[in-house]
Copies of this chain bind each other. A is one copy, B any other.
Amino acid sequence: MDAAQIDQVRRFNRTVTERVGVLHDRYLGRDRPIGEARLLWEIGEAGLDVRLLRERLGLDSGYVSRLLRSLETDGLATVEPQLRDRRVRTVRLTEKGRTERALLDGRSNELASSLLEPLNTPQRARLVAAMAEVDRLLTAATVTLAVVDPDHPDARHCLLSYFAELRQLFETGFDPARSLLPDAGELRPTRGLFLVARLHGEPIGCAGVKLPPGAPAEIKRMWVAPQARRLGLGRRLLTELETRAARNGCDTLRLDTNKALTSAINLYHSFGFQEVPAFNNEPYAHHWFEKRVTAPSYPTEAA
Contact = CB atoms under 8 A, between A and B. Distances in A.
Interface of A: 1-2, 5-13, 15-17, 19-20, 24, 108-109, 111-113, 115-120, 123-124, 126-128, 130-135, 137-143, 232, 235-236, 239, 301-302
Contacts of A111: 10, 13
A13 to B, nearest CB: 6
B133 A116 contact: no
Contacts of A135: 8, 11-12, 15-16
Nearest to A1: B113
Contacts of A5: 112, 116, 124, 128
A112 B10 CA distance: 6
Contacts of A235: 120
Contact of A137 (B9, B127, B301): B127
- Copies of chain A in the complex: 2
A8 B235 CA distance: 26
Most chain B CB inside 10 Å of its own CB: which residue of A1, A8, A12: A12
B112 A16 contact: no
Contacts of A137: 119, 123, 126-127, 130
14 contacts: A5-B128, A8-B131, A10-B108, A15-B134, A15-B139, A117-B141, A118-B140, A118-B236, A119-B140, A119-B141, A120-B301, A123-B137, A123-B232, A127-B137
A149 B151 CA distance: 74
A204 to B, nearest CB: 14
A20 B17 contact: yes
B131 A115 contact: no
